[in-house]
């Protein structure tokens, strides 16, 4: 029964991976971490968890006051924004890095094609005849969290290609939460000319939106159609049409990449693209 701390000091390796998420108590991130954990456990690698839940926390983390890079020999950053200069500084820190949800050339990454995924939703809604389409997005000021911007951009681009770029008033922030989704939906429905369909950047926001719609006695999808994103475990119960992704396997893949990078630090970065599929149910 050896002492890991001494072993680490002597060997110069910690056998530990740090996982950084924007928040923790959300379906998506819990699933991702579960996927990572399963892989790391079977490789006997420890998992250190950091939540970086604001831009200030993000900067503090990257400034490295806690010298996190000495605590683990690799880092998985899940949907946390990285500027180019920050990336380069990380690369120089010597720890192997894998990003989830965003892609930099110098690190391995596992992403889904946000543009294509959002286009799935856009095309579906267009095909069903919707022309006035709202969006429940993330908080544009949440700079630490990257995915929302990419996903929103992809959706707007897809609509733009057919000359249907949504008016700014149709894009609302739902903060990626159920309550936020409900409030944002309420705002959309209060418009003089409310949208006939709404694309939610996460299923959790869609759940809130559906609740608000029902609460007003409107019908889904006849009065308002709703498309979500994630294929949350509870999406079938809400009969929610959604862009599905296999979140646990995203985490597992990142875990595999990071272990690989630990064993073979000189390998070039590997970029994995994760599939998304439109899961059509009754809400759109």
Partner DNA sequence: TTGTAGGCGTTATCAG
Partner DNA sequence: CTGATAACGCCTACAA
Name residues whose C-beta falls within 8 Å of residue 152's C-beta, 6 or more positions apart in sequence. Answer: 118, 135, 137, 138, 171, 201
State the nearest-atom distance from the C-beta of 185 to its own copies, in Å: 13
**Site residue total, DNA (CB under 7 A):** 8
Kindly tell me which of 3 and 264 has the beta carbon lying closer to DNA: 3
State the nearest-atom distance from the C-beta of 168 to its own copies, in Å: 29
Tell me if 19 sits within 8 A of 36, measured CB to CB: yes
Q: Tell whether residue 237 is a contact of DNA (CB under 7 A).
A: no
The SS3 call for residue 107 is: coil
User: Applying CB under 8 A, which of residues 30, 106, 191, 272 lies at the interface with its own copies?
Assistant: 30
User: Applying CB under 8 A, which of residues 175, 208, 255, 269 lies at the interface with its own copies?
Assistant: 208
Tell me if 149 sits within 8 A of 159, measured CB to CB: no
Strand extents, DSSP E, the chain: 16-21, 46-51, 74-78, 96-100, 108-112, 133-137, 171-173, 197-200, 225-230, 241-245, 271-274, 276-279
| Choices 18-26, 126-134, 187-195, 275-283 (CB under 8 A): range interacting with its own copies | 18-26
User: Applying CB under 7 A, which of residues 3, 85, 264, 266 lies at the interface with DNA?
Assistant: 3
The SS3 call for residue 150 is: helix
Q: Tell whether residue 56 is a contact of its own copies (CB under 8 A).
A: no
| Choices 7-15, 76-84, 109-117, 149-157 (CB under 8 A): range interacting with its own copies | 7-15
The SS3 call for residue 212 is: helix
User: Applying CB under 8 A, which of residues 56, 165, 218, 234 lies at the interface with its own copies?
Assistant: 234
């Amino acid at each position: 029964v050896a002492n890991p701390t001494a072993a680490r000091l002597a060997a110069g390796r910690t056998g530990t991976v740090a996982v950084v998420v924007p928040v923790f108590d959300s379906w998506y991130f819990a699933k991702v971490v579960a996927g990572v954990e399963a892989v790391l456990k079977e490789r006997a690698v420890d998992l250190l968890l950091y939540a970086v839940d604001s831009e200030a926390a993000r900067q503090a983390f990257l400034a490295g006051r806690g010298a996190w890079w000495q605590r683990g020999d690799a880092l998985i950053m899940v949907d946390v924004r990285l500027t180019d200069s920050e990336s380069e500084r990380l690369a120089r820190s010597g720890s192997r890095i894998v990003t989830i949800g965003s892609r930099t050339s110098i690190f391995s990454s596992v992403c889904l094609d946000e543009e294509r995924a959002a286009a799935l939703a856009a095309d579906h809604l267009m095909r069903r005849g919707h022309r006035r389409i709202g969006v429940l997005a993330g908080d544009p000021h949440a700079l630490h969290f990257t995915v929302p911007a990419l996903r929103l951009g992809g959706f707007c681009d897809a609509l733009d290609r057919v000359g249907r770029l949504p008016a700014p008033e149709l894009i609302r922030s739902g903060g990626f939460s159920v309550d936020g989704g409900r409030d944002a939906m309420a705002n959309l429905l209060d418009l003089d000319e409310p949208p006939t369909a709404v694309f939610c950047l996460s299923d959790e926001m869609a759940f809130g939106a559906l609740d608000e719609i029902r609460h007003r006695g409107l019908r889904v999808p006849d009065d308002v159609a709703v498309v979500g994103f994630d294929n949350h475990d509870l999406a079938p119960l809400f009969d929610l049409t959604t862009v599905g992704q296999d979140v646990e396997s995203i985490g597992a893949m990142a875990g595999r990449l990071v272990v690989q990078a630990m064993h073979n630090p000189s390998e070039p970065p590997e970029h994995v693209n994760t599939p998304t599929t439109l899961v059509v149910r009754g809400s759109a």
